[in-house]
């Protein structure tokens, strides 16, 4: 069977997906990046190889996420796309006619508007943690409850308390104040969910026309409390796709399939890439006032790639 691999490497998770020619998801893995994207990608390749064995032949590879260029060097990608494009493609395939994509990950969040299958607008939040999954992780830890139980507790709330959600620091302070006033745990948890959604809509979604069908993607979509808070705020049903946590990888795998159809070959280095010894480094270019930080990737002591310079001076030197 022919398969197409998609790799989405972010600050919190590294996701790998293999799809068939009909876009059916054959294999999917969700791995913690833990600040080591090279190791995460190579560990993921080993897991995919062990799962597919000789039953699936990888015909094409795509990379996306904040470490998409690095991942391209590691695996040999046929297409490298940003997260907006990858999530939009997957959402369109999984939810026909989708017009709004809400995506919340561990460290960032985004909104994508589609009209007739075309991305017409988007916005991202990478500055404040109050509208991301890390905010919920921090508060769950503060409340001494597993993050997996967060959503279920929120749904049991009778009267969610209003918690200031514009800043994660203020939100935690306000949450502690509400605890001291005697509010029960369920109402506080529901209030935190609504605070995150309010922050998201007031920042990432500000000025955006949110129309149904609406999909909710990213790791935070596992939290039923956040889904309920979105539906309460928007007055619209929010759809969570089956593979909500690996949608970026699915989208870029689909794009890789199209890229390989056009060029009739793949750049995939094979699963042996999981065994290669890579090393990352960087230096500051002092060639002009930009002082660009140039990233270097070494394989067997040889520089195999550089990027990060605005003028392209270093990109073609290896």
**Nearest CA-CA partner of 68 in 18, 92, 23, 33:** 33
Is there a domain that residue 292 lies in? yes
Is there a domain that residue 146 lies in? yes
Is there a domain that residue 316 lies in? no
**121 and 145 within one domain:** yes
Reported pTM: 0.86
d(CA 63, CA 49): 17
**Nearest CA-CA partner of 172 in 200, 153, 197, 196:** 196
d(CA 28, CA 296): 30
pLDDT in tens, 213-246: 999 999 889 999 999 999 999 999 999 999 999 9
**230 and 119 within one domain:** yes
How would you class 100 by CB atoms within 10 Å of its CB: exposed for 0-12, middle for 13-18, buried for 19 or more? Answer: buried
**215 and 131 within one domain:** yes
d(CA 210, CA 113): 8
**33 and 161 within one domain:** no
Quick one: pLDDT at residue 130? 58
The residue ranges of DSSP E strands in 208-300, in sequence order, are 214-217, 238-239, 278-284, 293-299
**185 and 80 within one domain:** no
Instruction: Tell me the CA distances in angstroms from 98 to 90, 102, 115, 119, one per residue in order.
Output: 10, 11, 8, 11
Which residue has tokens 């507790």?
A: 153
pLDDT in tens, 171-218: 777 878 887 778 888 999 999 889 889 888 988 999 999 999 999 999
- Chain-centroid distance of CA 18 in Å reads 17
Q: Which of 240, 264, 299 is the last residue of a domain?
A: 240
Is there a domain that residue 149 lies in? yes
Is there a domain that residue 314 lies in? no
Residue 29 Ramachandran class (φ > 0 left, ψ -120 to 50 alpha, else beta) = beta
**83 and 47 within one domain:** yes
- The percentage of residues in the chain with a pLDDT greater than 70, rounded to a whole number, is 95
Quick one: pLDDT at residue 167? 65
**256 and 219 within one domain:** no
Is there a domain that residue 6 lies in? yes
**163 and 293 within one domain:** no
Radius of gyration from C-alpha coordinates of the chain: 21
CATH code for the domain of 200: 3.30.420.40
Residue 263, beta-bridge partner list: none
Pairing between β-strand 13-19 and β-strand 118-125 as defined by DSSP bridges: unpaired
**127 and 45 within one domain:** no
- Structural domain count of the chain: 3
Q: What is the residue range of 45's domain?
A: 2-88+248-275
pLDDT at residue 88 above 80?
yes
Mean pLDDT on 274-280:
86
Report the residue count for the chain: 318
**228 and 102 within one domain:** yes
Is there a domain that residue 313 lies in? no
Is there a domain that residue 206 lies in? yes
**42 and 156 within one domain:** no
Which own/partner contact pairs does 24-28 have at CB distance under 8 Å and 24+ positions apart?
25/243, 25/246, 25/250, 26/1, 26/52, 26/56, 27/3, 27/51, 27/52, 27/56, 28/243, 28/246, 28/249, 28/250
**120 and 228 within one domain:** yes
């Amino acid at each position: 069977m022919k398969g197409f691999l998609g790799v989405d490497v972010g600050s919190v998770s590294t996701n790998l997906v293999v799809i068939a020619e009909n876009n059916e998801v054959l294999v999917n893995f969700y791995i913690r990046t833990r600040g080591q994207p090279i190791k995460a990608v190579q560990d993921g390749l080993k897991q995919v190889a062990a799962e597919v064995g000789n039953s699936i032949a990888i015909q094409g590879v795509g990379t996306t996420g904040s470490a998409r260029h690095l991942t391209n060097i590691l695996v040999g990608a046929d297409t490298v796309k940003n997260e907006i494009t990858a999530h939009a493609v997957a959402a369109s395939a999984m939810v026909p006619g989708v017009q709004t994509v809400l995506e919340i990950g561990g460290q960032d969040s985004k909104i994508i508007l589609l009209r007739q299958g075309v991305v017409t607008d988007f916005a991202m939040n990478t500055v404040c943690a109050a509208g991301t999954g890390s905010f919920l992780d921090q508060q769950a830890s503060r409340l001494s409850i597993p993050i997996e139980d967060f959503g279920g507790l929120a749904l049991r709330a009778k009267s969610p308390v209003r918690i200031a959600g514009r800043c994660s620091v203020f939100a935690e302070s306000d949450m502690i104040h509400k605890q001291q006033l005697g509010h029960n745990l369920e109402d506080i948890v529901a209030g935190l969910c609504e605070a995150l959604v309010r922050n998201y809509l007031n920042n990432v979604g500000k000025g955006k026309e949110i129309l149904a069908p609406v999909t909710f993607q990213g790791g935070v979509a596992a939290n039923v409390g956040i889904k309920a808070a979105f539906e309460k705020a928007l007055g619209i049903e929010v759809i969570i796709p089956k593979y909500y946590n690996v949608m970026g990888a699915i989208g870029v795998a689909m794009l890789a399939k199209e890229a390989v159809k056009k060029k009739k070959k793949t750049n995939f280095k094979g699963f042996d890439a999981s065994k290669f010894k890579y090393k990352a480094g960087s230096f500051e270019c002092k060639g002009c006032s930009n002082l660009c930080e140039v990233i270097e990737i070494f394989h067997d002591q040889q520089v195999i790639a550089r990027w990060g310079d605005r003028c392209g001076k270093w990109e073609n030197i290896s």
